[in-house]
Structure 1
Amino acid sequence: MLIPAMVSFKLIFFHLPIFFLFFDAGNASDDSKSLVRIGAVFDADSAEGGAIAEICMCMAISDFYAMHSTYQTRLVLHTRSSKDLVGTVAQVEDLLKNVGVHTILGPQISEAAPLVIELGAKAHVPVISFFPSSPNLSPMENHYFIRAAQDDSVQAKAIATTLRRFGWDEVVFVYEDSDYGNLFISHLVTALLKNDIRLAYKSAIPTSAEDFQISRELYMLMTRKTRVFIVHMTSNSLGSRLFALAGKAGMMSQGYVWFITTALSNSLNAMDSTEGTVLGIRSHVPYSKDLENFKSRWKRNLNLMKPNSSATKLNIFCLWAYDTIWALARAVERIGVTNSNFLKLNASESTVKDLAGSSRIGPRLLNKILNIKFKGLSGEFHVVNGQLKTSALEIFKLTEKGKRVVEYFWTPGKRSISRRLYSRTMLKNNVVTTQLRIGIPVKTGFRQFVDMETIRHTNKTTYSGFSIEVFLAAYEKLESKNSISFEFIPFKNESSGGMNGNYDDLLSQIKEQRYDAVVGDTTIFSNRTLDVDFTMPYSESGMTMLVPVHGQKLWKMWTFLQPWSWDLWLTVFASFIFMGIVIRIMERRTENTTFAGPRNRQLGMTLWFPFSALAIPQRDMVVKDWSRFVLVIWIGLAVILMQIYTASLSSMLTVDRFQPMFMSVDELLAKGYKVGYQKDSYVKDFLMDRLGFDESQLEEYCTTEDYYKALTKGPNENGGVAAIFDEIPFIRVFLATKYGSKFMMAGTIYRTDGFGFAFPKGSSIVSNFSRAILKVIENGEITKIEKRYFRHGIANQGVASQIPPDNPRILHASSLAGLFIIVGIVTLLALVISEGYFWRKTVGLAQQFISKRSSDVSSNHDQPRNETELVAVQSTAQVNAAPELEVSIPREEDDAEINQVHSS
């Protein structure tokens, strides 16, 4: 389980530092919670251990209960400070006798660990140490002792492997003269012998040694021919003085090699620049967003609470302390403590020998801690055989500027160190072969994409699925196939059997160098490309929603009216009437008897004519040529309208049978319905960040059966959901099952770049695999793979036909406005041209206007200027006057009468 970064938002830690950093039983009480006291003993002034561990533990308590506010138990931390063996033992006795703690954290002083463990065993109180301790303290022999740190004896193998890698066959061991240093020698000698490396000399430095004593020992070492030194110390001050004096003696120059072990590597804050070679070994801490968030918060608290501390950055001891508190809090809650009292001791019982009190919950607490496993800030927190499970170690090099650069990694079970974590290079058939560790998702549902099966009698795991098959097909097309080998590694949580996080967590394993690639149904996103490189997509993708469909509807009485809106129906009827009137006007002076008779009959035929022209077409329905032209235009319009109506009605009747219950996201948000998504996918964040759903509205599901049950229950108070959001390939798989006929895709499609394979940033393999995937797609091999796993294609199949439109299929008058306008204009033009009366009337009026205008102008020019001239004009007018001839334009009626006379 990840330690969520959301802690910083739920509790602004740096606003309440004093309360949490000095949390004590006297300052905290909660009647509704069971309080469990725990104690910690360390040197509060020690920059490399106690000072920062105290802050980390208090932050761990506040962070944990900010995220688990509903827990019924609470840890109460009691801290004690001591700088020596006697003081440490006294403080532990006080915590057990007077405070009644149920767990002891520490001690920081390794010499005090055996006595503290003995006290814990007598009181039945677990002693958990995350500081360096003697390898001789075995948790298997001391049942109440838990080492929440890496076993120091393991690093001996990594040191020997590194020495062999660089060809150093002789070394000098410089160590702290204490149980911690003396007991490490046997482990180191064993590892060196297995790698044919000789231990030339052992130099013991007392923890109380003065500078002149250290310098004398260094000058003696200079007289020996061996120039490779292994330094094993717990004290930061002793180690710092050793290297400072070695620099003065000229032993930090070229030709000298210093190899410091984990305790000093993790606690040594600074070292002067050196021209020689300084290597170190330390625990590998995987990168995570939670860790980065914690670092920034820790630094603020350090500056606020311990401004004079020489500590500048976190070390592994602080992270182990933080994770230990989380493990304790989980263990206490699992016990469900109701009475956490400590069996009190008598006042006279003050020595270790006489200590006889015991914790009521100590044994159960010990058992729970040994069974806890989670992903903490330091990596995987899993106690195996009483101590933290061994993880990878880093081999770093100290540069001239004092910076530590990781050069190699060592992992348990490996015979050599490597440049990349969990990647190996081997020689096969005289060809250097790169072995890729490929992480794959562990799916409980939709196994058509990625599936795995373990054969019992061989204990061999086989991998299959669409994504796996595409990868294998692309691998066969690689040009550099012979130089690349691989193994699949499931991203599996051993305790639950499911996936160990989500897809983002899986991809982060590449950056943390646990995997060299990720193969699966992994969607390509821009934010993911910041940490990894993807190949070209091998499947089209996109997200939409899956919703139930309405049950089959019965046709209603007025269903035939639904394809068109009322304004369209009125427009069509108006066009019928308009067409009848036009034909009536054009045929009024012809021999067509259709419109003859009384006015009522003429009106009825005018309205009926457009319908009869369609229903009972006759050859001689109209007489004039222009009437025939208009009739053809009308019939064409009618045919187009009938085709549109038929198509719209057919579509509507089909949609009625498969209508989605919900059409849009806005509808779901407005009604506050719950929606579902596929577990471990990116869809949850998308629904919350992009679409605006509240986390309380979201439910996660795994399989197609889960989808069916949730959608069938419905969005009401039945424990179901209104819709399920998922990527289109997964929805297609669901629709291809026996449940598919009752559901459909609906709403908007949110596009993504599809599925791709992930590799480290800058990897040259990406382009090679992209070209290979392109070959698999082009030659049709991907289609064959689809047919083996699906009843449909998912790689390049469109989705538009699968999703109904957001608006109903109803046509409005505006949809056909262009058609009606064109028909109307053409019809009016035909009417004007056909009816000469309108044309002649217009021309006659124009001529009269022009003639009148001309006469007015002439009269103005010819007006007489005097009386004599007026008499002359009048006389001339009388002389020229003549009878006016009446000229008339023959009409069609007159032509008919003349013809009738001639015929008679």
Structure 2
Amino acid sequence: MNTWQQAALAAEIENQAQVPVLSLAASASVRPSRRLGRPTLIQMGSNIYEQVRCISAIVRSYHWRGVIAIYEDDAYGGNAEMLTLFSEALQRVGSEIEYHLSLPPISSLSDPRESVFQELLKLLSTQSRVFIVLQSSLPMATHLFQEARRMDFMGKDSAWIITDSISSFLDSMDTSVIPYMEGALGIKSYYSKSNRPFLEFSAQFQKNFKSENPEENNTQPGIHALRADDSIAVIARALERLASDDTNTPKMMLKNILARNFSGLSGNIIFEGGDLSNSNSLLFRIINVVRTGYKELDFWTQDLDNPFRREGRDKNSSRNTTKVLDGPVIWPGYLIKRVPKGWEMPTDAKPLKIGIPAKTSFDKFVKVDEAEAEADKRYSGFCIDIFREVLKILEQNYSLPYEFHPVIGTYDELVDFVYNKTYDAVVGDVTILANRSKKVEFTVPYAESGLVIVQVSSEEPQKAWMFLKPFTMEMWVVTGALLIYTMFIVWVLEYQSNNPAFRGPWKNQLGTALWFTFSSLFFAHREAIHSNITRVVIVVWLFVVFVLTSSYTASLSSILTVRRLESNVTDVEWLKATKSVVGCDGDSFSGNISAAFLELPYAKVFINQFCKNYTANQPLNRFGGLGFVSSNSSSSPFAFTKFFLGNLLEGGKFRPPNAFQKGSPLAADVSKAILTISEKGILKSLEDKWFPRSAECSTIEIDELSLRNFWALYFLCGATSTLCFLLFFLCL
């Protein structure tokens, strides 16, 4: 019996007589046979559930997001549970079945080759190039790989994985057939090839097989031969036990079989619930089909943390999880240096179809000039330049032929074209949104995005105390204190020097001292100075005055010259409350509308050019940024913007992301390339190239001058005055 379904049918027939049935076919169920209502059916083959877990671990290790499941149908309809198990296993590792191809039973086909060819034609419209052959007879697998290679499904960037139902026959398969499978990965049930019982059995098996089939080259015993021998051993041991018992019934025979526990050629023979227990620490060999044979790469275990390891390796040993298989792996198309993308990669004959917006509100992002004859000059803009820089990095590993297709429509429609596979990707100013991410794959954002309010600016109202703004309050207080202290020192020194200008009634002395000190601020003092020590104090004070007046004049001039703008519109609720007109079609920023909602990148470009007339507030909402799209979108947040922005100004435009089809490996590669050009400063240079800031829009922030800016100068002045005061009295 070739399939588990056939064995199950036989077991149901024999169930009434309680006759045990041993099956070497793989089971597609995770439940033991006894729980399936087949207590007499004993599984000696591997469980397909463990095989799909192994396959999903391989898929996860190579980051393949989508696969194509291929299987040969049977007359018993037993593939539904197998597909369910496989789909659930893939979902747990972040992958999915893009398409499942059911091949009819080969026994029902008059022309298997033509039938397989017609079935494979269905895969031409799929994107994934990771093919998993879950179940197939050897003749069907032979036709499958022959046609797949002829139809170029086994070219570079494709990957094929075969299960134990095929790989177990590689030891005895015709060597002229194996080259059609070259590059495929396979999983084979593990068994030790070094123990003495196996070596003795292998030698005897090859001797007998060669004598009966002298034309065959492959004479190694496969897992089926080992399990057949183990099955015979199980029955023999059960019969020996049955002969020693008084009760000789089929039920007792079944009990004796299930009670067997020994080390066989295929591994430990232990039954649990009527099925062979997976007690081996190493369950499957991972093999790579090469030329007319195969090489062993690794072993798969049930250890979730370290599922792949060589025989004899410590389970706690470190392992590179990005290249989990000991290699090198020879992939289809003799690809060795890198892992296949597992995706239909573009070629010169079939380049990558990239949709771009034919018309944007800000053509500095994407501009299409149909009148330009040269393709390189026909498409320009910030997004186009980023994409071309990304290509320079990607082409270090593989070529990426492409062609641009201008699309007239909304951004939602543009993303939907990627979702329905009209285009492979979108390059342009597409905002990353949650609902779009459900349909397509976005790259990392290359520009920040959010929703801001742009409005006509109003000058900051003039304030009566504007003249105090250049200095902080602390600065004014300390300056006044230093002035009074200097006035006091000058008065004392000149009074003791018998200067008649500082003599007389105390009111005259105070007035003279005040006038002298204040007039020195404008270098207009006229009183004669008698003491040389006083002259030292005055010189230092005049230097302080010079520095302060120069700094004050410069700061006040900047405040009065650079326009300070403030936003009248605070938020959306303010617009609602005032019933303001927002973004009406046909209006422009001539006062007809109160405000406009713009994407943050557009607002930056617009404000950079028209900063003297318009202002923007902080983003009201944050989006995912601007990126490229690769298959999977929704409605553009810019549709509302474009509704009124068309007449907002003549010239000037903006946007960014990129998107790819769901599961596309290009999205990850493009994201890495975007990060690379960002780290190298290329992205910043492109921003400066396409969005230069107007000379009139330099954002000079005027900070008030504080005491920390002049504390050394003040200390010098105060210390000089104090020192001169002490020296004067010491010299008396």
TM over 0.5: no
Identify the TM-score tier after normalising by the shorter chain: 0.3 to 0.5
State the TM-score, normalizing by the size of structure 2: 0.41
Bigger-Rg structure (1/2): 1
